[in-house]
Structure 1
């Protein structure tokens, strides 16, 4: 733009203030012609409407853009703080550029004089480009731009291919989808656009690793599973602007054969001269020698196309193993200029071997040499097939002797029984609300690190001196959680509160809680009820007049303090009363800015009460869902800003980090159990505290699965090992945090797995147990950056040992997530 390569006539705009700010002044220009920039006629609104357009006439590969504000001899003060890029390859269909994490808005300028360069990752292949300046309020902006790139000599304008698949390695998903594809998707096929197969990035030898920062495993490759695809070939169709003469196709493919990934064994290419013509006969069949597959490194294969003319190519790549992974496909070709004297040979059948020249028809010696090489290759192929066949049958027989088929495995949540494993331990059993999974007796050794249910369903027990049930033998030893006995309280407000080490029940470092005068509690409304009591919302007038309250309150004098009061029913059993007092002692230890605090008790007479904080804006689920006024399509229409949501999620992670440091397991983390305080700053940031009485509220009865009218389980938030095996750990709380984060990024507009029944959710937990690639994950919310969705997916890792810690989650949300806006 600056050097005049693009003429003024190719720079247009939706409008301009005047002749001195029209589109032609929108180029970065050291001479500062006119008033030094393009300025649209009216003020720019938060929505993109005004634009500056650059017509390049032919396809260009653009990798960098620059922007600058208005010069106007030092008098101009207008500049664009952010902008959108939209581009077109045909002048009709416009595409909004997104970065590798799905974000559309590009940071612009902070002043009028500095040039801000933006590296386009992924790059743009376009004929026409539009810049849309944005503003966070109604204001005037001016803009100068520069484009950096080169002619797109490849001529490719679109390709059609099957959608990439997800590979599971050691329980972790590897996403091999074409994540930057800018066309359409329908019926499992991408079409009408370009993506990772032509972005210029070559993947490495290990397809799980990526050259990009903060992307998901498998990002550099597009991959397909032969089993998932249901056919022996991957069919990719390439559409070009004009008819071209094709000499070479170069395919960069992964060959990690130890993980079932190999380069293709052959490719069948078909050629079509134009959109309206038929496929030319015969097709070109190119074979790749299997001897070259022994090296596990990735490589680029140069395939000779025999100077065939075409505007459309269709290539069928044949699987050589279970997976086929491509990083880049490019062509060496030239424009085709029809001429009467042009004549093509009637047929070309080329046997291609990487690094070998194509055979010439006028050399008998060359033909003999190629014939010998083909014979040697066929002999080697036969030997390899025999070896692989023997290994296959050996492996198959070994499996038949030592494992069950998937049809023999039955997984279900059933009627209540007497045993449950709390946390990662097989040495203690406790009262349960449900049965674990059932397997056949001979399945004891399968997946031992997840503590096969057959090893814990009927452990041999003995009693210690305290009468506690302990198990001996019966399966592999698993480290005892927190090296302490576990207690699970029957809380006043619901099924269970926290699962905690028993030592927490008798703390020595916490002074007795103050006895609060009952008459100071003013009833406001009933929040909910549980099996043994009720939860009420109350006020305490003039809380400053209660000097024995140990918690410092920031309440203005004369204003009442909102509190939640858990009341034990007077007719509760002795066990329930004991649990109540244990709960008081345990909750008195929870002193953290993001955990609801226990303020005092009323235990001098019945009914027993405990008084906790309550937050003025209620629970997070209602707070977010009631603030939504229109459908979620982009961050600028979400009533609660992205930074505010991330700040609230970070506070929840901080509170959970504190709980995990005490070896507390919450068991029911969700937005309904997070309370929202007042504003902390101008950007709607709110104070969040974690509570535990969402289960008692009728409003959320639909979030819990009820078994035979007794137990209630938040199965849509529970890790698969909680549902099937009753194993509650900090790692299962991490799973629930991932679901909670999904709720927040969905602005609580739907229930997790809303398309599934409760029984389907339980069945899906069984799919996680089987780990055969059929488990269903919660989909990425429309406004969730891909990097943040990757954090959610890591929280839902099948292997609880591979889920992130709350310390890592909190660090990610405070340092990295904010940069994804």
Structure 2
């Protein structure tokens, strides 16, 4: 029944298009390997023989002679030979894979380098270039390994050509795959004035559309670029999430003085007539620097040869309070069109966009709905006449089906509501019992009963695991990618792990993407009801909102934000641990819950407050106060003067022996002391049976005298979006820090935190100059975890940092042992690091 209800929802939404593609999620194979791309859609400029024709150029296939091989290459750097793939519809392509010839191990032909050309209509071809303007892609070094290359920027195309570039003396053979997803926007080009250049504080800011693939002069025409690349700019337009680019790279911007009429006109062309519901425009709003979101948008529509006379007007609410960049949704009123022309009016000196996306429904209509010119008579075309009796019968059947399915849905929802009411009543009874039992001995947190776990998922910072067995097991449905896992349903017995108990569930394992409060994305809480009483321990007192001064937005999530603020008079709330170093105003981090958050998110937010208020350790960020008497709900935590450890270390160099220290250098002893402090904080958490799940330098804050405190802000920050791997739009996983059993089995224990600590220690000793496994793509990182599972000595470890002695590298390798029980405890790690520091 539930599946029928799902089909009904899909039926109601049939034709609805969900746009604003996410490149981190849009990485699915498009069908060369899986066979969805048919032989007739694969062509080539030439072939060496019939057995090396284009249809044999499928990644990881060995049909024919095991690859596509063109005729002899004419000359070096020749672009005459190509393998072409027709995807039938427009696709957003983010990744390509290549491989040499199989030939039962006899062939040794591969493409060392290649280029890519693409087209949306089959007539106009564009050469792909990376963000630095390079066209050549490094390919394979042997005939059997698969080499995956991210396309930065992604391409939007129907036709894609792989064009080998090699020495003419070499015979080239290729097997390929494309990765991405369907381009649901349907946008084939946008035209606009060319982006302009700004001089800001003596610095040149280039606001041109760098990756635009159309014609560019004083204006841009017939192309797509940064406004459709699936990523949007930071609040500060002078900074970028892309490394090695110039200031202003993420935005396309215009100045009011250079354009007549005080507006920017943009025209958007689509693949067909669509029914448009809305347009989302990502705008910068650094109003203090003369940059504001648009004052008004006026959009006209064209579904035939002429533009319709009645445009849509939209005025966003002006905002001179928050400098945050944001998406503005322009309602388009279900207008039918194949092209849209919008004029965006300036609100200030500058206007900057970084992304534009459209939401539309499939345009299905008969002649009575086709727009026609004024005073034009309907066309008497027999092919468009409708049989009224058949239409009435069809409508009657559809109404009957909808009525039946609605009744089924109502029954299902009623049963679910009734079941939840019973479960909530049971939970209240259990909470009361646990609160009484624990109040005498100590304040702690316990694992809730099995029948309740699936309904009590929240977004707290840490998770406590109740040591009923040898370890804690959470079956995962996310990463069963390796062949060894495709047919296995019960993997909990590996390495002596006990079978999942009913308390652990099987279908609703908590995953990263299910957490909505920023800074607390990773964890589920199972906790007794602890009253939130102002004044108790001074930690949960209500703090006056008017004493908070906004400084900077640290990050955001679906249901909240994290802000850096100054708090006046915080000493009154810190009497038990405020000493001479307390200053007024004090720098704090403020987590807020948006007012439109649902009831579950609000409950989870309050649970997180109760948990953090109980944590007392010099190396754990402390909750100082709350604002919960009115919306938005806020929790106020410590923030350290020097920001997070990742950014702090990346600004420093290792102090050389015999060289006097300065502000840009840091000593080896200081690095070990920092690592020792992190292990001390984790020792405290593990003593309470808490699992952090996201231990990394980005989640450690640095204070005066290099004091380190463990926090959890990393995932909410755009700066670290590249550290998290998105799975099918749901899970967000820091796979480069995760143990193999966490990735493949969904197991999170203190031992998996030890693994993450080993990676964190590696970050510290490399001064965060590069990402862990920087030479690997995300998919290759996942494949490497499979080698840990197979345990055939093929797994790749992080290399020993230059300043790291063998004894300390041995500690890292122990943290990465395959058998979780053989990894050291945090008590042992802290003892070892203390000895190293001494």
- Shared fold by TM > 0.5? no
Q: TM class by shorter-chain length?
A: 0.3 to 0.5
Calculate the TM-score normalised by the size of structure 2: 0.40
Choose 1 or 2 for highest CA Rg: 1
